[in-house]
Amino acid sequence: MKHLAVKFLAASTALFAIAGTASAHRAWILPSTFTFSGDEQWVTVDAAISNDLFFPNHHAIDPASILVTAPDGSAVEIENAMRGEIRSMFDFKMDQQGTYRISTAGGVSYFAGWTENGERKRWRGSLEQLKADGIDQKPGVEVSQAQRSNESFVTLGAPTTDVFAATGSGLELSPVTHPNDIFAGEAASFKLLLDGAPAEGVEVTIVPGNDRYRDDPAETKVTTDPEGLITFTPDRAGPYWLTASSEGTIDVDGAPMSQRLSYTMTFEALPF
């Protein structure tokens, strides 16, 4: 591939602002309840990008981009999906005991930018389409790669861990403390993987919800150790938003390309 630069495009920088700190737009998936009992239950999920956690005020996340995975690894049908201007919602039925994953299906995206006839052009899509459209041949084109994960987890009965099986691609969560077994005032630990290996030196930001009503966002920032581990203690009960990102340069068809990976999760700390 020709003409590849090693800097991010403005478009990709703006995209990842949604997974930044409390001053930026933040993407989130919020279940109505995180833990359930019984043989069967329904859960309702909100999905949005907003300034405040977890108050919709900016943009909806398309329900078509969301996958629900059952404890046995099978896909769960999303029902009653609705996309509004600033919030989406959907339901799904839980009929297996264990932990379900709710995640966006964004995968890997490529971003390109170039100037043509004095006008700035931007493009987003797959690597195959980028080549098919001849974008990589544009004079002065800048190309970058991005991979995002946005998740939440709900459990019917006892927590299970099968849905956390690593794919070996991007930033992934390998829980030490199960996300549905976190309590306010108790230490919790997570492990982050980068392409299947421990992600050392990654800064993780954790923010309690309802920051709309606080002058202080109450962010906690921790950095993963050589084993990819972080430990933190939530100081209050309620929903939390966690995000982490990693930047680097990769080789694509013999040319260097900027890469940014991000991981975001919504979880709940229960009263102690």
**Residue 126 in this model has a pLDDT that exceeds 80:** yes
Q: What local confidence, expressed as pLDDT, does residue 25 receive?
A: 84
Q: What local confidence, expressed as pLDDT, does residue 106 receive?
A: 61
Q: What integer is the mean pLDDT of 21-36?
A: 84
Question: How far does the chain reach from its first CA to its final CA, in angstroms?
Answer: 55
Query: Model confidence at 116, in pLDDT bands (50, 70, 90)?
Result: very high
**Residue 90 in this model has a pLDDT that exceeds 90:** yes
Assigned token pair, 153 = 């987890």
Model confidence, pTM: 0.85
In angstroms, the Cα distances linking 159 to 17, 32, 131, 270 are 32, 17, 44, 14
Question: Residues 222-254: pLDDT tens digits?
Answer: 999 999 999 999 999 999 999 999 988 887 777
Q: What local confidence, expressed as pLDDT, does residue 15 receive?
A: 40
| Structural domains in the chain, sorted by start | 10-108+143-164+238-265 (2.60.40.10)
Residue 264 · residue 21 · CB < 8 Å: no
Percent of the chain with pLDDT over 70: 90
Q: What local confidence, expressed as pLDDT, does residue 22 receive?
A: 40
**Residue 2 in this model has a pLDDT that exceeds 90:** no
**Residue 154 in this model has a pLDDT that exceeds 50:** yes
Q: What local confidence, expressed as pLDDT, does residue 86 receive?
A: 95
What b/e sequence results for 48-65 when a residue is b if at least 16 CB atoms lie within 10 Å of its CB, and e otherwise? bbbebbbbbebbbbebee
Query: Model confidence at 212, in pLDDT bands (50, 70, 90)?
Result: confident
**Residue 8 in this model has a pLDDT that exceeds 60:** no
Query: Model confidence at 7, in pLDDT bands (50, 70, 90)?
Result: very low
What b/e sequence results for 69-106 when a residue is b if at least 16 CB atoms lie within 10 Å of its CB, and e otherwise? bbbeeeebebeebeeeeebbbbebebebbbbbbbbbeb
Q: What integer is the mean pLDDT of 21-31?
A: 78
Question: Residues 128-144: pLDDT tens digits?
Answer: 998 899 998 899 998 89
Q: Which residues pair with 11 in a beta bridge?
A: none
Please, what is the average pLDDT of the chain? Answer: 88
**Residue 18 in this model has a pLDDT that exceeds 90:** no
